[in-house]
A and B are shown apart, each in its own frame.
Chain A
């Protein structure tokens, strides 16, 4: 197989898989503050799952970024990974991905440093996970090569819809009754 073709396949695969891993991370995070997954597990195992998913999306997200950097057709510079809206084509679509990645890094690093941080500050930073997911979804919707495939689209929309519903419920009602 042509190396560039393989890199292109890796970029698409890791993009979709990292989206799935992040969906699990966000869902488990919301479940900690609601009772929707009480039937599945208590808070302690859910918290362990939420922390564990970090080690799923980090290699997948890194693989997605590295593959796009190596892809000669994508024309992504290292600076585009951090600074959004600088890509010569599709600046908005790819910039949304850059923004979501920036937020994701901030959220993750601050979570690792939670004990050294002000608790209220950490909570507000962590709440930007919802914003991060919206940016990620818009990035996938506007630039994903496979987003319009029926199966991919159905799963992606379903995951996003479920997270949106749970997130809205969490914001409006707080902890949902059993």
Chain B
């Protein structure tokens, strides 16, 4: 066999391996059984904030006009419930804070 045929054959084999390897790697992006599993981060925890950064305090869940007391609500009308279901004696939530 001439040398050009051997060279062409080796080139074809190599290109075949390149194409096959790329296709295989594309279909198998992750391999949990791979012997090496490098760390994704630089070692910090997933919820650890960067140094020098403090979490922003949340605003108080209170109305701007002050803490209002809930006005007494009128008792809700009695409901016809299924057997085994009891109505509660707690006052019904009929009013909400006005923003």
Contacts and interface: CB of A to CB of B under 8 A. Distances in A.
A168 to B, nearest CB: 24
The number of chain A residues touching the other chain, given as a range, is 35 or more
Interface stretch (A52-60, A77-85, A107-115, A121-129): A52-60
B93 interface: no
Given A45-B1, A56-B10, A74 B34 contact: no
Given A24-B10, A75-B38, A145-B31, A49 B3 contact: yes
Given A17-B18, A93-B36, A41 B1 contact: yes
B14 A143 contact: no
B7 A52 contact: yes
A149 B24 CA distance: 10
A170 interface: no
A30 interface: no
A13 B38 contact: no
B56 to A, nearest CB: 29
Given A5-B29, A56-B14, A148-B33, A17 B7 contact: no
Interface of B: 1-3, 5-7, 10-11, 13-14, 17-18, 21-22, 24-26, 28-29, 31, 33-36, 38-40
Nearest to A52: B7
Interface of A: 5, 8-9, 12-14, 16-17, 20-21, 24, 28, 40-41, 44-46, 48-49, 52-53, 56, 60, 73-75, 89-90, 93-94, 142-149, 151-152
A46 B6 contact: yes
Contacts of B6: 28, 40-41, 45-46, 48-49, 52
B27 to A, nearest CB: 10
